[in-house]
Structure formats: C-alpha cells, structure tokens
Amino acid sequence: MEQKRIGIVMNGVTGRMGLNQHLIRSILAIRQQGGLTLPDDSILMPDPILVGRNENKLRAIAEAHGLTRWTTDLDRALANQDDEIYFDSGTTGMREHNVSRAIDAGKHVYCEKPLSTSVESSLRLARQAEAAGIKQGIVQDKLFLPGIRKLRRLVESGFFGKILSVRGEFGYWVFEGDWQTAQRPSWNYKKEEDGGIILDMFCHWRYVLDQTFAPVTAVSCFGTTHIPERVDENGRRYQCTADDAAYGSFELEGGIIAQINSSWTTRVYRDELFNLQVDGTNGSAVAGLRDCKTQHRVNTPRPTWNPDMPNPFKFRDDWQEVPDNATFENAFKVQWEMFLRHVAIGTSFPHTFLDGARGVQLAELGLKSWAERRWLDVPALNTTIVTKD
C-alpha cells in the first residue's frame, strides 16, 4: 500500500491548544492510527515540523513524542518546499504577519481562531489567500463536538418545529494564580496582548449559531472585568485590562433569539462546561460538549407555580438522551482530517478565512456594543466589500 507524505509546518505548538489539541490529539493521533486512507487506498501520513520561540520547549516536546523535526526559524521552515501546509496556533497579534508570510511562500494554510485581531486584517488575509490560489481553513472545532452534532441532527430532522430561542452557558472559574495556579495563561487577561473573552469566544458563537441554527443578524453585548488583579506564571501580580466575562444577546434570521453567557469567573453547576438549550414549538433540547437530551411536546410536564409547596417534579426525569448512533472522535482531529484530505485530493472544506473574518466581526461588534451600550446590526461580509455601521 503506497504511503504519501504531507509536510506540515506547525507554529505555536508550545502553547496549550497547539500542543494538546492540534499536535497530540490530532496530528500525532493520525500518525498513530497509521495515517489517513485515501480513495485510491493510498495512505496519507502527516509529517510535522514544530516551530516556536523557545528552543528548550520545542526540543522537549519533540523528544517526548518521538519527533525529530523542530526549529525556532520560521523563515527557514517556510522556505522548505517539501512542507505543503502551514498551521498557526501562535499568538493572535502575530497571526496576520505569519499567515501572510506563509501564503507568500506558497503554503496552504490552516489556523486557529481568531483569524486576526480585526475584521480589516482578517479580510486582508482572505483576499491574499484567494489571490494566491492556496487552500485555506479556519478551526471551528465546536461544530464537530458530539453534543453539537447531535443538536444539528435534531435541527435538520425538524424536531423543534419553529425554533424560538437558544440559551447558552459557557465557562468555569479560572483561579487567580495566588493560592492556586491559573488554568489559563496571563495574556488572556491583558487587552494589550489581545486577550479578552469576547474576542476569544464570540468567534466560536458566530459559527455555532450561523451553522447550527441561522445567521446572526444583530448583537447586544455587555462585557466586564470581574477580577481586576491576578498573578502570572512567574508569581508576579498584574492588573487585568481585558474582559473576563461577557453577556451576549443575538438575533438570528427567522426571529430566533439567542443568549450566551461566557465567563472565566463562574463556578459550574451544570453537567458540562458548555450547555446550550434550544426551545421550539414542538420540542426542546439541551446539548453539552458530548451529550444531548430532548423533551418533546408530548412529554412536557405541566408545572404550576406554587412556592408554598415542595416541588413535586423531577424535571430532568422527563428528558430523553439522544443516542450516539456513531463513533465520535476528537473534534479537532476530525477537522484536521478534513483539511488534510482537502489539500491532498481536493475534497470539500467549507470553513474558510471568510468564516474566520465573520467570527472576528461578531467579536468587534460585541466590543462596540458594550462600549456604546446598544444593539448593533451584523452586516453581510465578503472579501471584496466591508459594510461599516
């Protein structure tokens, strides 16, 4: 059986997401399973070269996972014509510069969100990629989570009837770093380093809402910095200048109303770190990262408000589990396999830089809505025209 190598320049693998989700659970997992089988029965085998700024970290990661290729010289890595793909999960502020260099070097590009720090720069990348004729993709991992895939199955089946509303809760308590080590890096809480939960999470909510229910047409957002001071990785106190919680409302086509709270300052009292409830005329569903439960109109109980009596209902007992009916793999790995096949044999990959720009657009409008304390329309976006409010 013929094996075909596909080289990948992986920039940013010393970071949490780049290492865990993209290198270990995606590229290395694909290698460990023996590669990807293509329609002609050949095997596509990814061959990564690790790129970053810290030589010691790169060496340690490579040695831990049996890899031999790593470098701190991005220019040299981009110059190697034997590596067709450039992947970026580095800092957001450097993404436009590095992705632009990769496009100029003729690489196909796949990268983490946010695509860039502004709609304007995101669209520049989208135009540049189109003009160069390279294949391009943006990470939209939550679409491939088992819970969201089951939810999409319900939408496509017509289970809900007319969808009325969507309500989401995302987040957990991120320790301040004084008496327990923080679970997230300090740059997340510094606006000057492109931190903030709105820029981070509204990119996710854009594609989840757009592609699961209906396009977002308007947004209202209130953000805040609940924790004003934290302790960084070196034990130094610093002032938090970026938002650590956001309370967003969204209007979707068809009159659907969505509300999603995003917070790194909330303690979890729900089944998963992310829950999304959908209510429709014929039924409702609650989806998490992996599970999804439904309640049809015929199974809906008839509660009566009476605070003077003990509650007679066990409301969760009236919900039914949506079965897996499939084997669900890591969401990042699934999308990586799609992009690798897209590059190797030209199969479809719909999640382009334009989708990345749409995510950044919603974040920008969310920040503007917060600053101006008002609803804002979400205009159509394409690579040739930007409609400004």
Q: How far is Cα 156 from Cα 150, in angstroms, rounded to an integer?
A: 10
Does residue 168 sit in the same domain as residue 71?
no
What pLDDT shows up at residue 383?
Answer: 64
How many domains, the chain?
2
Distances (CA, A) of 266 to 19, 178, 381: 26, 18, 34
Return the percentage of the chain with pLDDT > 90, whole number: 94
Does residue 236 sit in the same domain as residue 304?
yes
Give pLDDT tens digits for 209-251.
999 999 999 999 999 999 999 999 999 999 999 999 999 999 9
Three-point CA angle 85, 89, 93, nearest 5°: 115
Q: How far is Cα 47 from Cα 7, in angstroms, rounded to an integer?
A: 5
Does residue 283 sit in the same domain as residue 184?
yes
What pLDDT shows up at residue 382?
Answer: 76
Alpha-carbon radius of gyration of the chain: 22
Does a structural domain hold residue 189?
yes
Does residue 297 sit in the same domain as residue 339?
no
Give pLDDT tens digits for 334-378.
999 999 999 999 999 999 999 999 999 999 999 999 999 999 999
Does residue 241 sit in the same domain as residue 112?
no
Mean pLDDT of the chain: 95
What pLDDT shows up at residue 304?
Answer: 87
Those residues with Cβ within 8 angstroms of residue 168's Cβ, 6 or more apart along the chain or in another chain: 205, 258, 259, 260, 261, 274, 275, 276, 277
Whether pLDDT at 69 is above 80: yes
Does a structural domain hold residue 159?
yes
What is the bridge-based pairing of β-strands 136-138 and 163-171? unpaired
Which residue is associated with the tokens 């004003």?
A: 228
Does residue 230 sit in the same domain as residue 275?
yes
Q: How far is Cα 182 from Cα 227, in angstroms, rounded to an integer?
A: 13
Does residue 40 sit in the same domain as residue 186?
no
Does a structural domain hold residue 367?
no
Whether pLDDT at 86 is above 60: yes
Does a structural domain hold residue 369?
no
Domain end marker among 295, 329, 363? 329
CATH label of the domain that carries residue 346: 3.40.50.720
Give pLDDT tens digits for 169-210.
999 999 999 999 999 999 999 999 999 999 999 999 999 999
Cβ–Cβ < 8 Å for 85, 9: yes
What pLDDT shows up at residue 235?
Answer: 96
CATH label of the domain that carries residue 321: 3.30.360.10
Does a structural domain hold residue 388?
no
Does residue 103 sit in the same domain as residue 227?
no
Element (DSSP H or E) covering residue 158: none
Residues in the chain: 389
Does residue 269 sit in the same domain as residue 340?
no
Element (DSSP H or E) covering residue 199: helix 197-212
CA atoms within 13 A on the CB side of 240: 22
Report the b/e string of 29-46 with b at 16+ CB within 10 A.
bbbeeebbebeeebebeb
What pLDDT shows up at residue 384?
Answer: 57
Region 29-35 average pLDDT: 97
Q: How far is Cα 256 from Cα 316, in angstroms, rounded to an integer?
A: 25
Return the percentage of the chain with pLDDT > 70, whole number: 98
Nearest by Cα to 91 from 187, 183, 21, 20: 187
The string of DSSP letters for 63-127 reads: HHTT---EES-HHHHHH-TT--EEEE-S-HHHHHHHHHHHHHTT-EEEEPSSSSSSHHHHHHHHH
Does a structural domain hold residue 248?
yes
Three-point CA angle 347, 135, 78, nearest 5°: 130
Does residue 279 sit in the same domain as residue 194?
yes
Residue 320 belongs to what domain range?
Answer: 142-329
Does a structural domain hold residue 379?
no
Does residue 163 sit in the same domain as residue 277?
yes
Does a structural domain hold residue 335?
yes
Does residue 45 sit in the same domain as residue 118?
yes
Query: What is the biggest distance separating any 2 CA atoms in the chain, rounded to whole angstroms?
Result: 74
